[in-house]
């Protein structure tokens, strides 16, 4: 999608996108268009239920006096109440309508309005929302009919002080690139994306200045990563530990922020085999790792003034003659031993070694891990919030605020000794599941907390319900959502770059 910015003027072709205020009040640009068309817009508003409330859309055929094909009226509601997320959603909703219309180009006309954000800021956020919504993963569609393919290639945003709008958009565009990296990774089938190929994709970040290191099985075995390697031992695909280091603040920036991702590129459940129905979805069980790679891309692309490290444990969980068995005991890098009662509770085994490695090697200021860890979190929160577990109130508040700002909401869940006791074990230091289905996502978080060193602020985001979208949203089309990239980029920008 080519997005550009220019001074206000009505183009002579393509679609026009114009705002309308609550109460069917035309913006100055809309009023000017209405005069040119001898009241066509007012007549369209008078004849329907469109009232100008935030998010409403009304599409009309452009009158003959204009060379344009159609006019899309977008309800702005009350400008003073439009936050950045609202503006992005409006841009995304407009883009979605245009993508389905067959239009090849469109112009967004952005007015100066009383109240609310300045026009350049509104223009940049409209464009950002449109860009996010334009994503489409169609590389494997070889026979799609031309009429089903979106034709929209160009959006021109027309606003006073277009240069300022462009500057604001350039930063947002870099974040969108990170989101698209994550969406691409999550969308790839498991025969294309496996531990080594995911690591190879992450190596592309070196062009942006990210230092990328990949450890193979031999290196991990020397480090004692028996928990991660136990998950991988049933697969023909070699596991990898992916480490990405961005030093945007240099030596004076101190210890890095750490982001750790679960990267199970396909999860059959292992010997504790999952049901066949829906197993194809397990290609996105690497959504946490995908989010960390996308975040590192966003930070590096926009030259974030922060030191950050991303660590991802990459494995494939398969059943075979060499696969880990229920009842096996493995020794983690921390030295703690784990009885594996269910091989489908594998993500926590991957993460525990990745978390310990991160602390041992980087001594980070804080750690945030992301994982499509449990189906139980979907039972608790549906597909509306990711679960947040943390040992630190300040970190929890910062993450929650960032998620709310960008529309990637988190809901804090409890931790406590009574939950932790469920993974006490007679055979080893702990077992990898609790005694039943109750509180499954909490018990999983308690397991991870046993691998967090005392004094290290830590948060675990269980994104199982959020990494994949089964319905279109204003800035998120169906499929890989890229959840976590915008949230964590905002978390970093607002708390560690000021």
pLDDT digits (tens, 9 = 90+) for 181-226: 999 999 999 999 999 999 999 999 999 999 999 999 999 999 999 9
Residue with tokens 């204009």: 66
Which residue in this structure is represented by tokens 């223009």?
123
Quickly list DSSP for 55-122: T-EEEEEPPTTSS-SEEEEEEEE-GGG--HHHHHHHHHHHHHHHHTTT-SEEEEE----SSSS-HHHH
Cβ-based neighbour number of residue 112 at 10 Å: 14
Report yes or no: 271 and 343 within 8 Å, Cβ to Cβ: yes
Name all domains of the chain by residue range, CATH numbers in brackets.
2-159 (3.40.220.10), 175-496 (3.40.630.10)
Band of pLDDT at residue 435, cut at 50, 70 and 90: confident
Q: Encode pLDDT of 167-186 as tens digits.
A: 999 999 999 999 999 999 99
pLDDT bin (cut points 50, 70, 90) of residue 115 is confident
Mean pLDDT across the chain, nearest whole number? Answer: 96
Residue 465, helix vs strand vs coil: coil
CA distance 411 to 396: 9
17 pLDDT more than 90:
yes
pLDDT value of residue 48: 79
Using the predicted structure, report yes or no on whether residue 498 has a pLDDT greater than 80.
no
How far is the C-alpha of 109 from the C-alpha of 90, rounded, in Å?
13
The residue among 324 and 114 whose pLDDT is bigger is 324
Supply the pLDDT for residue 65.
84
* Cα dist from 293 to 1, 14, 32, 392, 424, whole Å: 22, 37, 47, 25, 34
State both tokens at 331: 């020794």
Structure tokens at 355: 């978390």
* Residue 381 vs residues 321, 403, 412, 465: alpha-carbon distances, Å: 37, 15, 11, 8
Kind and range of the H or E run holding 129: helix 119-133
- Which range, of 138-147, 169-178, 308-317, averages the lowest pLDDT? 138-147
Predicted confidence (pLDDT) at residue 26 exceeds the cutoff of 90:
yes
Report CA-CA distances (Å) from 83 to 62, 90, 222, 413: 30, 11, 51, 27
Q: At residue 287, does pLDDT exceed 80? A: yes
For the chain, helix (H) and strand (E) counts, in that order, are 15, 20
pLDDT at 71 > cutoff 90: yes
Reduced to 3 states (helix: H, G, I; strand: E, B; else coil), residue 18 is strand
List residues with catalytic annotation. 274, 348
**Are 105 and 15 contacting, i.e. CB atoms less than 8 angstroms apart?**
yes
Q: Give the model's pLDDT for residue 148.
A: 84
Q: pLDDT > 90: what percent of the chain?
A: 93
- pLDDT mean over 407-425: 98
* The pLDDT value given to residue 147: 83
Q: What is the mean pLDDT of residues 359-369?
A: 98
Q: CA-CA distance, 398 to 492, in Å (whole number)?
A: 9
Cα separations in angstroms, 165 against 119, 453, 486: 8, 45, 20
**Distance (Å, whole) CA 280 – CA 277:** 8
pLDDT confidence band for 52 (50 / 70 / 90): very high
Tokens of 13: 């072709």
- Kindly indicate the confidence band of residue 359, based on its pLDDT and cuts at 50, 70 and 90: very high
Using a 10 angstrom Cβ sphere, with 0-12 exposed, 13-18 middle and 19 or more buried, the burial of residue 147 is: exposed
List Cβ neighbours of 125 (8 Å cut-off, separation of 6 or more).
Answer: 84, 87, 88, 91, 117, 172
Which are the contacts of 271, defined by CB distance < 8 A and separation ≥ 6?
A: 234, 319, 323, 324, 325, 326, 343
Give residue 173's pLDDT.
Answer: 98
Q: Per-residue pLDDT averaged across 465-493, rounded?
A: 97
- For the chain, report the end-to-end CA distance as a whole number of angstroms: 31
Q: List helix spans (H) across 266-392.
A: 287-301, 347-362, 376-381
Rounded mean pLDDT of 389-410? 98
Q: Which residues make beta-bridge pairs with 26?
A: 20
């Amino acid at each position: 999608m080519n997005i550009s910015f220019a001074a206000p003027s009505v183009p002579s072709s393509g679609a026009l996108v114009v705002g309308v205020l609550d109460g069917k009040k035309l913006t100055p640009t809309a009023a000017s268009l209405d005069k040119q068309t001898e009241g066509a817009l007012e007549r369209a508003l008078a004849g329907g239920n469109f009232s100008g409330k935030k998010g409403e859309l009304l599409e009309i055929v452009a009158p003959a006096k204009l060379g344009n094909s159609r006019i899309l009226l977008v309800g702005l509601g009350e400008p003073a109440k439009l936050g950045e997320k609202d503006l992005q959603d409006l841009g995304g909703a407009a883009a979605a309508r245009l993508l389905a219309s067959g239009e090849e180009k469109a112009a967004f006309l952005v007015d100066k309005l009383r109240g609310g954000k300045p026009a350049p800021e509104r223009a940049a956020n409209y464009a950002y929302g449109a860009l996010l919504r334009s994503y489409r993963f169609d590389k494997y569609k070889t026979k799609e009919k031309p009429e089903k393919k979106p034709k929209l290639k160009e959006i021109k945003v027309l606003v006073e002080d277009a240069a300022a709008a462009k500057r604001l958009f350039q930063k947002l565009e870099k974040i969108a690139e990170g989101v698209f990296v994550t969406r691409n990774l999550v969308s790839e089938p498991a025969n294309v994306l496996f531990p080594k190929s995911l690591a190879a994709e992450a190596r592309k970040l070196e062009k942006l200045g990210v230092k990328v290191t990949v450890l193979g099985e031999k290196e991990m075995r020397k480090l004692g990563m028996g928990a991660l390697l136990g998950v991988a031992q049933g697969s023909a695909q070699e596991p990898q530990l992916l480490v990405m280091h961005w030093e945007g603040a240099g030596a004076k920036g101190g210890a890095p922020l750490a982001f750790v991702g679960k990267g199970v590129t396909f999860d059959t459940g292992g010997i504790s085999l999952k049901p066949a129905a829906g197993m194809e979805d397990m290609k996105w069980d690497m959504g946490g790792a995908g989010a960390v790679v996308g975040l590192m891309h966003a930070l590096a692309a926009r030259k974030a003034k922060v030191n950050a490290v991303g660590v991802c444990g990459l494995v494939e969980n398969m059943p075979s003659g060499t696969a880990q068995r229920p009842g096996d005991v493995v020794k983690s890098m921390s030295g703690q031993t784990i009885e594996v009662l269910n091989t489908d509770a594998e993500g926590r085994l991957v993460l525990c070694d990745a978390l310990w490695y991160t602390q041992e090697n980087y001594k980070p200021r804080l750690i945030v891990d992301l994982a499509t860890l449990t189906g139980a979190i979907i039972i608790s929160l549906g597909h509306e919030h990711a679960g947040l577990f943390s040992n630190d109130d300040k970190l929890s508040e910062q993450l929650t605020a960032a998620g709310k700002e960008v529309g990637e909401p988190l809901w804090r869940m409890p931790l406590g000794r009574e939950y932790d006791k469920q993974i006490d074990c007679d055979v080893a230091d702990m077992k990898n599941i609790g005694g039943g289905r109750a509180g499954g996502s909490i018990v999983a978080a308690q397991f991870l907390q046993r691998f967090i060193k005392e004094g290290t602020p830590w948060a675990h985001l269980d994104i199982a319900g959020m990494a994949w979208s089964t319905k279109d949203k204003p800035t998120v089309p169906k499929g890989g959502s890229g959840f976590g990239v915008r949230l964590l980029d905002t978390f970093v920008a607002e708390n560690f770059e000021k």
